[in-house]
Amino acid sequence: DTPETCIYSAWSPWSACSSATCDKGRRMRQRMLKAQLDLSVPCPHTQDFQPCMGPGCSQEEPSTCMMSEWISWSACSASCGMGMRSRERYVKQYPEDGSLCQFHTEETEKCVVNEECSPSSCVVTEWGEWDPCSVTCGLGMRRRERMVKMPPSDGSMCKAEVAELDNTLLRFVTRAVLVLRYFPPLKKSKSAPDLGPCVLTPWSDWSGCSRTCGPGVRTRSRMLKSDPAQCPEELEQSEKCMLPECPVDCMVSEWSEWSECNKSCGKGHTIRTRMVKLEPEGVLSGGAEHILEQSRA
């Protein structure tokens, strides 16, 4: 089954049979991985192969092949609620006629870590380091961020905060005012003017997105122009931003074990294979097929 977090394009048409003569060959079709919503869940099966006969030949039943036992299931991709897990197996022996095995070497299934988890829960990273203060003198702000590792399984927006503001300097200014009041000047001073209501600067322009591709966060800020005690208003706002999807690197599985020799007497050959687990985004070509199978005499 295709994981719900993997979004594919439609399958391409089947290629021509690799055998140009009356002999067994294989044909291939491909599809593109358009989006991987959860990077911890593999998105397999971007290529599909099928045995075929060359022109003028009749189809025959494919020979049987020997598969290994399934390897244990991987850990669930979710730490809370529903996720995905996978397991693999490999070809122990290919058919003597040289045809391909039609059995799957990987399968995935849904898993639940804690059934009581809310489907709207999401998983976030730890908080990053605090940014430097926005000013070198006087009242300023600093912020820190964290990222969404896995969105809610029900498709809703993650409600966890991804940006946090700190008003440590604001508290420092308040303490400084209290110190001045505790130690009044020796000379008589004029009474402090009434600063009146809260006065703020206009909002700045939105910053650039925090990421160069995919989802991120952008911010804008404003400054106080009056007594901080008169201004409970927020000084910084943040919102989510979305840039074009990040490019996806090619991922291949490990090489399988070498098969048994296809001849019991005389010169023969053995082969081993590996699968493309994730195609590079924007590439749809059979040119990488030569790296998926090796043979030796």
Instruction: Name the CA dihedral angle for 142, 146, 151, 156, rounded to a multiple of 10 degrees.
Output: -10
Q: Which of 77, 98, 80 is nearest to 18 (CA)?
A: 98
Residue 56, classified by CB atoms within 10 Å of its CB into exposed (0-12), middle (13-18) or buried (19+), is exposed
**Proportion of the chain above pLDDT 70, given as a percent:** 71
Do strands 91-93 and 66-67 pair parallel, antiparallel, or not at all (unpaired)? antiparallel
DSSP label at residue 59? P
Quick one: pLDDT band at residue 57, thresholds 50, 70, 90? low
Nearest partner of 152 among 80, 76, 74, 64, judged by Cα: 80
Residue ranges and CATH numbers for the domains of the chain are: 6-117+247-296 (no CATH), 123-179+199-242 (2.20.100.10)
Q: 276: part of which helix (H) or strand (E)?
A: strand 276-278
- Gap between the Cα atoms of 277 and 49, Å rounded: 14
User: Is the entire prediction scored with pTM above 0.85?
Assistant: no
Q: Indicate the SS3 state at residue 172.
A: helix
How many Cβ atoms from other residues are within 10 Å of residue 81's Cβ?
23
Least confident interval from 70-79, 101-110, 197-206, 288-297: 288-297
Distance CA 50, CA 63 (A): 13
pLDDT at 172: 40
CB burial string 133-166: b at 16+ within 10 A, e below: beeeeebbbbbebbebebbbbeeeebeeebbebe
Tens-place pLDDT, residues 126-178: 888 888 888 777 677 888 888 887 777 667 777 778 888 876 544 343 333 33
Distance of alpha carbon 157 from alpha carbon 215, whole angstroms: 12
Give the residue with greater pLDDT, 270 vs 287.
270
Mapped onto helix, strand or coil, the DSSP state of residue 256 is coil
The pLDDT of residue 179 is 30
